[in-house]
Amino acid sequence: MTLARWWSNATALPGSPAARTLTVDSRAWFDAATDAAAAGARLVALWATSGGVGGAFATVRAALLFEDRLLVLALLVADAAQTYRGLQDLFPAASRMQRAAFDLTGVRSDAPDQRPWLRHTSPVDDYPFVRVEGEGVHEVPVGPVHAGIIEPGHFRFSVVGEKVLRLEARLGYVHKGIERRFTELAALEGHRLAARVSGDSAVAYSWAYCQALEALAQATPPARAVHLRALCLELERVQNHLGDLGALGNDAGFAFGLAQFSRLKEELLRAMHDVLGQRYLLDAVVPGGTAIDLRDTGLAELGEAAGNIAQRTRRLRDIYDEHAGVRDRLVGAGQVTPDLAWRLGLTGLAGRASGQAQDLRVDRPWPPYDALPPEKCVRFDGDVAARVAVRFDELQESCRLIARLLASLPAGPVHTPVSLPDAPALAIGLVEGWRGPVMVALETTADGGIHRCHPHDPSWQNWPVLEHAVIGNIVPDFPLINKSFNLSYSGHDL
């Protein structure tokens, strides 16, 4: 069966004709995923839900994105003794998702790696890292506790001298029970928790959640609210890129870069607080629209801030490009070739720096991006310098989008009432955050509660690629390479 036939047999999900779900048996589960991989599809997420139709033990789902279409496969698992076919050979990133699904629901794949992923225990446990044997090989453990405000994660380096032969990351230390907490909330209240899954992507998560909720409710936010959401999403992208570019300069021994980008970020955050009421937009996006609006003076202030950032970052880019010491640290470090990026499923900003020309705002646009549209920022060298260049490119593009959104902001209300149907249902929200695709799968109950909510961060796909990116580099370059990806711990360890 071709992928087109799987798609034709699937049932449309609420809210979008380009999203469908298909319940499959064990054989069709793997056959459909195989056809999807052959057609160039990407695995967006794999997760499991306790229970299912006819008293099933659990339901395992895989969301596959090909071109602008999203196919969600659903496999019913009869009991705890039944295993399902793992997808790690088709989509390498599936391995850790399958391990996490077992930790949360007890449904097990047949994959060879059955190590626990989420760290439920507080005492020190004996986690079986993969060992590298050979003359002169030694291990360098880093973490899980790090300096400053970095979240916990353990990195086990196998090295000869200072050259890295292998890196294995162990995460899961900040497992917070977010998915369980969702089930204790009313569906109309879940957006606040979604915004706090990974605080640096608050707008992306809350918008994805509201996308799913509004699809179930068949509610369309007002045009002004839709534009304001996009404005907030681009501001979130700008503030994160500013912070990263400063930190990357600092990691390259260029403290001037940290000082300048930190100043620009602070100026933007203060403008956002003055105009939108929050430095970080945790509560801007709500079901049915936004909780914020703009005055005429706010339009001018944000426009001036975006224009100032665009102008100053162009000059700072010249300084980064012309500084021999910075270039020496960035060029060639942490390289991920386009071929490797494709095979491992590298996504988002890091993927675009390795030739993966994928951006949901362009490939699967939702309002108002379907009327803008953004321009993809793609590089092919796949090293730290390329990931820095993509950030600079996207800063300019986001500042352009902000100016356009402010100039075309429609008049009218910013909110419309939302009421859910009195029947359980599943919907998917999918938004391109600053780091990459953010997905929220929302299953509601008949009484307006949440049966299951799975928020998925692109860091699930990208953490394993980081392990490949550092091979052959020296240990002191790891902080620089790691920061160039800047992956989420919190969004990954739910």
CATH code of the domain occupying 3-109 = 3.30.460.80
CA distance 479 to 494: 24
Q: Tokens at residue 240, please?
A: 């994160």
- The answer to whether 80 and 107 have CB atoms below 8 angstroms apart is yes
Domain positions in the chain are 3-109, 178-485
CA distance 1 to 6: 7
- The answer to whether 30 and 85 have CB atoms below 8 angstroms apart is yes
CA distance 487 to 494: 14
Helix (H, G, I), strand (E, B) or coil at 325: helix
Find residue 474's DSSP bridge partners.
Answer: 163
Low-confidence residues of the chain, pLDDT below 70? 1, 120-124
pLDDT at 298: 84
Q: Kindly state the DSSP code that residue 474 receives in the 8-state scheme.
A: B
CA distance 320 to 484: 15
- Dump strand ranges (E) for 106-189: 108-109, 137-142, 154-160, 163-170
Burial class (CB in 10 A: 0-12, 13-18, 19+), 360: buried
- The answer to whether 428 and 70 have CB atoms below 8 angstroms apart is yes
Q: Kindly state the DSSP code that residue 371 receives in the 8-state scheme.
A: G
| Omega of the bond leading into 287 within 30 degrees of 0 (cis) | no
pLDDT at 52: 77
- The answer to whether 440 and 208 have CB atoms below 8 angstroms apart is yes
pLDDT tens digits for 359-385? 999 999 999 999 998 999 999 999 999
- The answer to whether 166 and 139 have CB atoms below 8 angstroms apart is no
pLDDT at 122: 59
- The answer to whether 352 and 378 have CB atoms below 8 angstroms apart is yes
Strand 83-84 versus strand 42-50 pairing type: unpaired
Q: Kindly state the DSSP code that residue 409 receives in the 8-state scheme.
A: P
Strand 83-84 versus strand 137-142 pairing type: unpaired
Report the candidate in 194, 151, 201 with the shortest Cα–Cα distance to residue 171. Answer: 151
How is domain 178-485 classified at the CATH fold level?
Answer: Cytochrome-c3 Hydrogenase; chain B (1.10.645)
Q: What are residue 441's phi and psi, to 5 degrees?
A: -100, 120
